[in-house]
Amino acid sequence: DNGRPVISSGDGRFSMAFRVRAQIDFGAFLQDDPATSTAQYKDLSTGALVRRGFFGVEGKAFKDFWYEFRYNAGGGGGAESGDPAMSIARVAYTGIDHFRVNVGIIEPAFGLEATTSSGQLMFLERPEIENIATDTFGGADARRGIEVAFQHENLFLPGDNLIWTAAFTGSKTTAPGGSAAGHGNGGDEQTQLLSHLSYRFWNDGPSNAIIGADYATILGTGGNVNSYTLQDRPQIRVDGTRLIGAAIGGGNFVSHHGFLIGGHAAANYENFYLGGEYIYYKTDRFNTVTKTADHPDFSGYFLEGSWVLTGEPKTYAVNATNNEIGGFGSPKVANPFSFDGESWGAWELVARYSFTNLDWYRDTPTYGIAGGREGVFDVGLNWYLNNEVKLQFHDSIVHVNKLNAAAGTTQVGQDLNIIGIRLQFSN
Amino acid sequence: DNGRPVISSGDGRFSMAFRVRAQIDFGAFLQDDPATSTAQYKDLSTGALVRRGFFGVEGKAFKDFWYEFRYNAGGGGGAESGDPAMSIARVAYTGIDHFRVNVGIIEPAFGLEATTSSGQLMFLERPEIENIATDTFGGADARRGIEVAFQHENLFLPGDNLIWTAAFTGSKTTAPGGSAAGHGNGGDEQTQLLSHLSYRFWNDGPSNAIIGADYATILGTGGNVNSYTLQDRPQIRVDGTRLIGAAIGGGNFVSHHGFLIGGHAAANYENFYLGGEYIYYKTDRFNTVTKTADHPDFSGYFLEGSWVLTGEPKTYAVNATNNEIGGFGSPKVANPFSFDGESWGAWELVARYSFTNLDWYRDTPTYGIAGGREGVFDVGLNWYLNNEVKLQFHDSIVHVNKLNAAAGTTQVGQDLNIIGIRLQFSN
Amino acid sequence: DNGRPVISSGDGRFSMAFRVRAQIDFGAFLQDDPATSTAQYKDLSTGALVRRGFFGVEGKAFKDFWYEFRYNAGGGGGAESGDPAMSIARVAYTGIDHFRVNVGIIEPAFGLEATTSSGQLMFLERPEIENIATDTFGGADARRGIEVAFQHENLFLPGDNLIWTAAFTGSKTTAPGGSAAGHGNGGDEQTQLLSHLSYRFWNDGPSNAIIGADYATILGTGGNVNSYTLQDRPQIRVDGTRLIGAAIGGGNFVSHHGFLIGGHAAANYENFYLGGEYIYYKTDRFNTVTKTADHPDFSGYFLEGSWVLTGEPKTYAVNATNNEIGGFGSPKVANPFSFDGESWGAWELVARYSFTNLDWYRDTPTYGIAGGREGVFDVGLNWYLNNEVKLQFHDSIVHVNKLNAAAGTTQVGQDLNIIGIRLQFSN
């Protein structure tokens, strides 16, 4: 009932579905007066942009094969606004029971919200600690790689669902040039290994409860690249500026490796939902002057909840050939919006608190890292007019605590408020 | 009968049509010998390019909703050749009688020719004064915004058609970066308000007569941006150079506001068509040294006519969810081209004179603006082989009168001739 | 049976087929230790990329017209990774017996492998001498131009097939900017003339034998451009570096013209295939100091063979509206891969030796050109899982002999080994 057009061959061996996803975001940044502010980023940019502009085709090809092909003409704000045009280009083989293999340009299953389709997010962006995980540690879409997944229902308990995936990935398909990812003389590609475990231990009709764990490691930063960066935006991308960020490597230091571990739990009881996740990052660094190694570590977490006011339950995807396997999704609208009759679509109230700490011994001059700490409290109202059109109204209260440098004496953090509105069309 | 493929759901609540529009332009610039010419642009670039390369989907989604999603891989010549890839991404709500709302990446209805689809233009480009209006004052495609339209037939007179639209828009979806539109620290988005009025006061079967008026204002240039520019190419974009252009702001001046008013009238009597428009621009400027304000103003007009030699009448769009509302379009081909039988498609003879004056007190040194004056006489022959394939052959006689600077003593204008040919496929 | 979805109108006058082609390449470069190597490019970049990411539509429009429209989101490695987004946008007229005309953004038929679709190549890339021919002398896709083709079966002999094409082309649709192709002030477009002749003189059911010849000339390098370059990568593009290359013009020299002639022959006997081609390039150069002209010339060849182990014959395209006219293609898979039953798809063993010589009097200081000589022996195994999914495993043994400059005393060539793997999905 989502109106996704499909063409099929008579014998059912081939099909092609046409997919569209357009997200238009408006964001307003309410900050202190730039004339007196000491913040690093005093005057973030209010405006609108195309966050995602997907067009894609997917379908069955012969027995046991599935393909998906997706372009993206959207992106975030700022210099990095151009998200990769080739977002997904994968072939999935599903010919062995309980297994599937994804090869090509993939989006590996990972974490709690990264297993929710970007078309079904409760908030405008996924939480910072998940974006750091997927961007730096090899997940997210537009990723060259291969993924193997095992999925089994009713394995230990009636109604349970076990999912285990492992992926080996390279860089994103973003326009390369010059650097390691640029495939030029002197720069091999960065590679990562990821693994995701998710278990639904309770299921009662529309209600579900899951626990999960994740691991990812940077096998090598590639070529002559000696550093990487943990960073993200304040959960909206209308202005592309990252308020916090920790560079691993640089100066006297080189870094080629790092890993993360994470755990999450989530459950929906009919139209109520509650979830949370914690992720811990540990990096390897080598001081080329003192010839000593150290291991800066960082962490973050989030807690989120939702209440579908109109009563539709949250949905859980038992299986999927893409990253949505075992993820929570949008409610299915019972009464699509129309002025005739009492049909107002579905309404959902959501809230999330997210905290990310990218400081490590930040008061120590030689080796400390003053990446910054950020807490974001996001409260929102989602209006699903029907299963294709959605409007989201969000307010984020952001607190940034950041020093101008390791052992620096100037606070360059700030308190700000961000209004975010999204219009989405997707099928 | 335009062969636009459509997939529909059985209950008629969903549909998806697939749209293609490819325009390949060839242009030859016949100029004076560069060795002796004093013109600012002595040697414009002869060659070919993809003016538009659209692929899109559009259709119905549930009751009262319409969506459109369009990519563009074409553009004009020169540094700005890359027109925005995300050309249209809109949701229209049509659930209230006589009203529609367009939200997302839209192309607002505006002026006389800007309400004609780019696939149905009689000339290769819209007239300069309309391009200046839409580029700088918030229209054209790839525009973030919201538009409300009211449309009513047979309101005051039998056969009449009243259209009134209002739109609030931001920037285009062009790759941002660095500047105000870049959504970086310190740069809010430019915003504009537009309104368009069009009235068909006479209709007699295939014949129509309309009058209309337009207003648009720059609400703010956004962020720390203190200027904007009125400029356009000589109605062909194979070479992207703009022969005339007036920068509002710069030097001692800052400018954040400006408005335009315009009026137009057009009519077709069966296979004959005549139309014209006048637009007046007034800008606000502030001299930061003398602390005084002034208001440079500019204007332009065009007159155009067409005769469909094979007798097919011009068409008028009573209603539409996009910018074509109330616009004039191509004739419908009665006999598609084929060597069998006497079927030569449709042939149309067209001519337009356009004049644009971007000078303001150009003989005065301190505050004068020597943007230049340009007259273009364009005569063309359009061959519609069928409703999908069109060939256009045009010759433009261009006269540019421009000083090298305000109160400058060197004439850097020129007389030139431009041959333009377009091949178009569209469905 | 390739599962290409098509929508047609009831009267058969219109159709639209949806095409997808995704090629994900992995490449590993096995070179000497960079610490001791004297090679010009010591450390090529191992990794993966999207070589082609096509989505397109094509079909019939009215009587005698065919259209094709194709986007590309892929490309090669390095700075030039972004292949043109607008890959094909053509209208073909087929209304005169034995003739067709292609206009727009086309890919002219040329040479031996360039008449094979990029989706049906036996190797990862076409041979170097063909890429040099098409890139510099006006072929390949994304090319503005017009092509006329004559094709006739059973003309002189029963079972024969004569093909003759001529094309006039300009530049590619690549994002222009600044240079001649940039359509800026002072730079007309480079233009070329190409002609291709191919004759199938023997046909026996699935078996075919052809001979052919090609000619191409640079009519002018365009605008103020005084040089062009013959160059290519070592038949894999994961690293975009070209190991050899001869610049015609530069220094005291200017060059605006050049031509090539080539000849090829190929045959398949059921599931065995053998082919080869020789191309000779001659350039025109003028020394602006000594006021003398010279004519550096270059050449190259390749020999290739294939054996379809599972017995399916190679295919030959008698006719086509695109560049595949008269070309050899992939075998049609008899038993698509599946774990049920003994269905292992089709397997093909291939080998090619290619040699390219871009040196000209390289031991002479003043006028010699030390472009380099390269021999590549490529052996591969192609696994066609079905008609849509293909995996290719290749190893290339590359020998580069190159001086650091004309009359230079340092050898900057190298011996290296390249592992290449491609996953392809196409319909």
The predicted pLDDT at position C331 comes to 96
Q: Above 70 in pLDDT, residue C194?
A: yes
**What does the block give as tokens for C32?**
């000497």
* Residues whose CB falls within 8 Å of the CB of residue C181, separated by 6 or more in sequence, listed in order: B47, C171, C172, C174, C187, C189, C190, C222
Who wins on pLDDT, C377 or A180? C377
Is residue C268 within 8 A of residue C207, CB to CB? The reply is: yes
Query: Which residue is it, tokens 């470069």?
Result: C29
The predicted pLDDT at position C182 comes to 55
Contact B7 C9 (CB under 8 A): no
Task: Please tell me the distance in Å from C62's CA to the nearest CA on chain A.
Answer: 23
Who wins on pLDDT, A240 or B12? A240
* Chains contacting C (3 or more CB pairs within 8 Å): A, B
Please provide the DSSP assignment of B89-105 as one string. Answer: EEEEE--STTEEEEEEE
**What does the block give as tokens for B289?**
């040294």
Give the tens place of pLDDT for each residue, A31-80.
Answer: 998 889 999 998 888 888 889 999 999 999 888 999 999 998 887 665 44
**What does the block give as tokens for C232?**
């290519």
Contact B188 A46 (CB under 8 A): yes
The predicted pLDDT at position B180 comes to 46
Other CB atoms closer than 10 Å to residue B396's CB: what's the count? 24
A interface with B, Cβ–Cβ below 8 Å: 3, 5-7, 18, 20, 22, 24, 41-50, 53, 55, 71, 73-74, 77-79, 81-82, 85, 238-241, 336, 338-339, 385-389, 423, 425, 427
pLDDT-derived band at A175, boundaries 50, 70, 90: very low
Residues C7-25 have a mean pLDDT of: 88
Of A286-295, A397-406, B181-190, minimum mean pLDDT range: B181-190
Which SS3 state, helix, strand or coil, does residue C139 take? coil
Give the tens place of pLDDT for each residue, C80-120.
Answer: 456 788 899 999 999 999 999 999 999 999 999 999 999 99
For C177, the closest of B71, B79, B385 (CB atoms) is B79
Residue of B211, B198, B193, B215 whose CA lies nearest to B260:
B215
Across the A:C interface, residue pairs with CB atoms under 8 Å apart total 147
Residue B188: DSSP 8-state = P
| CA B184 from centre of chain | 29
Which residue of C70, C106, C183 to mutate against B (max B Cβ within 10 Å)? Answer: C183
Indicate the residue type of B92. Answer: A
The predicted pLDDT at position C3 comes to 65
The predicted pLDDT at position C158 comes to 94
Residues A220-225 have a mean pLDDT of: 84
Closest residue in chain A to residue B89, using alpha carbons only: A22
Give the tens place of pLDDT for each residue, C38-52.
Answer: 999 988 888 888 899
Residue B250: DSSP 8-state = B
For C188, the closest of B3, B47, B73 (CB atoms) is B47
The predicted pLDDT at position A334 comes to 93
Task: Please tell me the distance in Å from C21's CA to the nearest CA on chain A.
Answer: 9
Q: Above 80 in pLDDT, residue C178?
A: no
Beta bridge partners of C343: C338
How far is C275 from C328, CA to CA, in rounded Å?
10
Q: Above 90 in pLDDT, residue A341?
A: no
pLDDT-derived band at B61, boundaries 50, 70, 90: confident
Residue C306: DSSP 8-state = E
Q: For the domain covering A6-426, report its CATH number.
A: 2.40.160.10
The predicted pLDDT at position C175 comes to 45
Give the tens place of pLDDT for each residue, B151-185.
Answer: 999 999 999 999 999 999 998 886 444 344 556 66
User: Average model confidence (pLDDT) for chain C?
Assistant: 91
Q: Above 70 in pLDDT, residue A183?
A: no
The predicted pLDDT at position A82 comes to 63
Is residue A71 within 8 A of residue A54, CB to CB? The reply is: yes
Contact A20 B183 (CB under 8 A): no
Angle at C185 between CA C182 and CA C186, to 5 degrees: 90
Superfamily of domain B23-52+91-426: Porin (2.40.160.10)
Contact C46 A104 (CB under 8 A): no
Q: Above 50 in pLDDT, residue C176?
A: no
Q: What is the dihedral of CA B103, B107, B108, B114, to 10 degrees?
A: -170
Percent of chain C whose pLDDT exceeds 90 = 77
The predicted pLDDT at position B77 comes to 62
Q: Above 50 in pLDDT, residue C177?
A: no
How far is A176 from B41, CA to CA, in rounded Å?
35
Give the tens place of pLDDT for each residue, A95-107.
Answer: 999 999 999 999 9
Of B224-228, B254-258, B384-388, C53-57, minimum mean pLDDT range: B224-228
Task: Please tell me the distance in Å from C273's CA to the nearest CA on chain B.
Answer: 39
Q: Burial code of A358-381, b = ≥16 C-beta within 10 A, e = fewer?
A: bbbebeeeebbbbbbbbebebebe
Other CB atoms closer than 10 Å to residue B35's CB: what's the count? 7
* Residues whose CB falls within 8 Å of the CB of residue B35, separated by 6 or more in sequence, listed in order: none
User: Average model confidence (pLDDT) for chain A?
Assistant: 92
Please provide the DSSP assignment of B15-69 as one string. Answer: EEEEEEEEEEEEEEEE---TTT---SS-----EEEEEEEEEEEEEEBSTTEEEEE
Which residue of A62, A103, A172 to mutate against C (max C Cβ within 10 Å)? Answer: A62
Across the A:B interface, residue pairs with CB atoms under 8 Å apart total 145
C interface with A, Cβ–Cβ below 8 Å: 3, 5-7, 18, 20, 22, 24, 41-50, 53, 55, 71, 73-74, 77-79, 81-82, 85, 238-241, 336-339, 385-389, 423, 425, 427
Residue of B365, B375, B371 whose CA lies nearest to B409:
B365
On chain C, the residues whose CB falls within 8 A of the CB of A62 are 3, 336-337, 385-389
User: Average model confidence (pLDDT) for chain B?
Assistant: 92
The predicted pLDDT at position C229 comes to 93
CA neighbours within 13 Å on the CB side: how many for A112? 29
Is residue A17 within 8 A of residue A58, CB to CB? The reply is: yes
Percent of chain A whose pLDDT exceeds 90 = 77
Is residue B285 within 8 A of residue B319, CB to CB? The reply is: no
The predicted pLDDT at position A409 comes to 92
For C184, the closest of B73, B240, B386 (CB atoms) is B240
CA neighbours within 13 Å on the CB side: how many for A273? 31
On chain A, the residues whose CB falls within 8 A of the CB of C6 are 7
Contact C427 A61 (CB under 8 A): yes
Q: Above 90 in pLDDT, residue A81?
A: no
Residue of B370, B358, B361, B379 whose CA lies nearest to B412:
B370
Please provide the DSSP assignment of A34-93 as one string. Answer: TTT---SS-----EEEEEEEEEEEEEEBSTTEEEEEEEE----SSTT----SEEEEEEEE
Q: Above 80 in pLDDT, residue A340?
A: no
The predicted pLDDT at position C2 comes to 57
The predicted pLDDT at position B253 comes to 95
Q: Above 50 in pLDDT, residue C266?
A: yes
Q: Above 50 in pLDDT, residue C342?
A: yes
Task: Please tell me the distance in Å from B218's CA to the nearest CA on chain A.
Answer: 15
How far is C7 from C1, CA to CA, in rounded Å?
16
Q: Burial code of C68-84, b = ≥16 C-beta within 10 A, e = fewer?
A: bbbbbbbbbbbeebbbb
pLDDT-derived band at A122, boundaries 50, 70, 90: very high
Please provide the DSSP assignment of C16-65 as one string. Answer: EEEEEEEEEEEEEEE---TTT---SS-S---EEEEEEEEEEEEEEBSTTE
Residue B313 backbone dihedrals phi, psi, to 5 degrees? -75, 155
On chain A, the residues whose CB falls within 8 A of the CB of B14 are 3, 5
How far is C290 from C31, CA to CA, in rounded Å?
42
Indicate the residue type of C346. Answer: A
The predicted pLDDT at position A77 comes to 62
For A184, the closest of C240, C337, C339 (CB atoms) is C240
Indicate the residue type of C290. Answer: T
Radius of gyration of chain A (CA): 22
How far is C249 from C257, CA to CA, in rounded Å?
10
